[in-house]
Structure 1
Amino acid sequence: MSDREQQRIEFLKSSGLADAARAPLPGDASTRRYERLTTPRGATLMLMDQAPAAESPPCDPAWSADERRAHGWNAVARLSAGRIEAFAAVAAHFRDAGLSAPEIIAVDAPNGLAVIEDYGDDLFARVIETGEPEAPLYLAAVDALARLHLVATLPSEIDGPAGRWPLLTYDAVALQGGVDLFVEWMPKLHPDLDFGEAAVDEWRAAWAPIAAMGEAKAWTVTHRDYHAENLIWLPGRADHRRVGMIDFQDAVLAHPVWDLHSLLQDARRDVPPEIEDAALDHYFDVMMVDRAAYRRDYAALAALNEARILGVFARLIARDGKPRYRQFMPRVWGHLNANLKKPGLEVVASWFNRHVPDARRG
């Protein structure tokens, strides 16, 4: 028996769940793992397992840009490093806002273990595959975002059952660091793409105004990975609480369109254009914002995120030996190519036209 398994057993015993049956769930691209627990009475819960030493440290709010780069990717991108205390604090913040985030039943933050409420397996993506109409789900997801974005008080730290956690801004350093994954990793996947020093300098200059805009307009809490594989349909609940949220431990302050484009320009599934338009119009109506300005920002930050995602997928394939991520790349390229035609992205579009041939953009 491994030391980690012994820790799990001891944690479940101390949580009164020593007799629960354990069933591991399939993994994803993270270092986190889950097990479904079934008690002798038939109730189910989830065991979240995130070994604290598995990743580089999260960002200290006091670190400069250079210090963040020295401490590694999680600090640059302002990721939580999967810390259980981050998940617990964000869950508490979402629940306080009236949203559906899992209740924390038991937690051992130093060892990276928690038992949380089980929302079941009805991910948006799965229930849509079984025939559930898409539009009501996406409109409910937008209602949940609007509810989150209407929360007036945003402290620099949020409280949870495992302690306080900083609520950091998704700033220009993080945004630029993310989009730079494209020029770092795409040539490793496709050696015919040769981005020399001058091309990389042009790349960074082209994206800098968009990254600066993203930081300047970062005024709301953002889930950061808000899409149909991280939302669970809870039809027994009312209104926006029908949207069960998971995988939100990397929440930051960001531009409100970030979660909108994650939801509506999904890397893993096609969202019909009419649903994207209806969902955006619904959000604009609820929030009473400048539609034209938000549309411009939506296209710009969506393009940045799609370039980032392509870099992440290239890294997963080239470095980590996970070829299944190839299947998502044509869809992401489709979104990016469409956004590059929008106003305000002319400089970025010119860079792609000069450095990435059409044969490599799909």
Structure 2
Amino acid sequence: MSELPEGLQEFLAEAGWGGAAVDPIPGDASFRRYFRVRRPDRSRAMLMHAPPPHEDPEPFLKVADWLNRHGMRAPEIFAADPAKGWVLLEDFGDDRMRDWLDAHPDREVPAYEGAIDTLVELHGRPAGPFADYDMPTYQREAGLFTEWYCPARGLDVDVAGYGEAWDAALAPMMPRQRNGVTVLRDYHAENIMLLGDPARRAPQGLIDFQDALVGHPAYDLVSLLQDARRDVSEELEAAMLARYCDRVEVDGDFAADYARLGAQRNAKIVGIFSRLHKRDGKPRYLDFIPRVWTAMERDLAHPALEPVAQWFAANVPDELRRSGGGKVA
């Protein structure tokens, strides 16, 4: 077992969980750590350690409270000490959508239907009290591509032109997200917990939502259906997108905005995965780049992305694009 963080046992004792067994859970791409906590009476909880200055649990607590108060299924918070980074929360069990589908690939369609229906429910609520997903945020995220991926590949690119291309591509979309929805921003199969009977479309548990903003409803659809960590066929993507559009009133620009946000998000992810390798020493994320790149190329083919597609044509070599981004050194 890896060493437990200082202050863990004291926090559990104050929360009424003193003497509980503590088992570390493999972490994600952040500085957060997770532990499963079990009492002798067999009750259990999850313990999150999100220590300052790298992490701040306050946004997680704020979004969890809002989601639960508006009929969604975020973990119940049992105890928290945000100043020290501790949060004790409800344990949603072991049926993470990604892992469950690895074991039950024949149940892919109903699992994704449940995920789509969860977004329909979320988007039917008034937007939460969160910051807007504004143009500077989109630009900052898209800029991770030129900041991290391009140097890692030794590419000397037109950074200013890249920003101008994104301005041109995203500007037509911005008025359509003024009356926005809550955007969880990392909604995909690794952050969805299947509750109740996983074989049915039971209510789905939400995790990893601390970066929520108010933005365009297509964003979390892209996150789910162009998953960086799991193959989602184009046929399933189209079917689930149609399911959403059948249940929510969308305008004639929705498909274009979906492509815009797909390209923006995928460019961001390529940059993030490159950063995780170069800065944080986590090379395993490089294996996901070809999948992300393939989805990004499909998005760039939409006419709404013409300015960005032209930038890619002028700045990223064809052989690199055809190889799914190539290998980052």
The residue aligned with 1:163 is none
Give distance in 2, aligned partners of 1:215 and 1:31: 32
- Displacement of 1:111: 1.3
Identity of aligned residues (%): 42
Q: What is the aligned residue count?
A: 317
Shift, 1:350, TM fit: 1.1
Once the two structures are superposed, the pairs formed by residues 37-48 of structure 1 within 5 Å of their partners are 37-48=37-48
Task: Find the partner of 2:69 among 87, 96, 102.
Answer: 96
Aligned to 2:27: 27
What is the CA–CA distance in structure 2 between the aligned matches of 1:330 and 1:237, rounded to whole Å?
A: 30
TM-superposed CA distance for 1:123, in Å, is 1.1
Q: 1:203 — aligned with what?
A: 162
Contact 1:210 / 1:301 at 8 angstroms: preserved in 2? Answer: no
Return the alpha-carbon distance in structure 2 between the equivalents of residues 264 and 356 of structure 1: 25
Query: Hey, what does 1:281 align to over in structure 2?
Result: 242
CA contact (8 A) 1:48 1:114 kept: yes
Q: Does 1:117 align with 2:94?
A: no
Whole-angstrom CA distance in 2 between matches of 1:141 and 1:340: 25
**Runs of 4+ off more than 6 Å:** 237-240
Deviation at 1:270, TM superposition (A): 0.8
Gaps of 5+ in 1: 55-81, 157-166
Query: Aligned partners of 2:174, 2:70: CA distance in 1, in Å?
Result: 23
* Separation (CA, whole Å) in 2 of partners of 1:322 and 1:5: 21
- Aligned pairs (5 A) from 1:202-351: 202-213=161-172, 215-218=174-177, 219-236=180-197, 242-290=203-251, 292-351=252-311
Q: Does the alignment pair 1:187 with 2:150?
A: yes
Q: Please give the secondary structure, in 2, of the residue aligned with 1:105.
A: strand
How far apart, CA to CA, are the structure 2 residues paired with 1:150 and 1:337?
31
Corresponding residue for 1:60?
A: none
2:243 maps to a residue whose letter is H
Q: TM-score, normalised by structure 1?
A: 0.83
Q: 1:137 to 1:173 in 2, by over 3 A?
A: same
CA contact (8 A) 1:99 1:241 kept: no
Separation of aligned partners in 2, 1:5 and 1:266: 32
Aligned letter for 2:165?
A
Displacement of 1:348: 1.0
Deviations 1:77-102 (A, max 9, x none): xxxxx422211221121112222110
TM-score (normalizing by structure 2): 0.91
SS in structure 2 at match of 1:48: strand
| Gaps in structure 2 of 5+ consecutive residues | 325-329
RMSD: 1.9
Aligned position for 2:327: none
Q: 1:237 to 1:96 in 2, by over 3 A?
A: farther
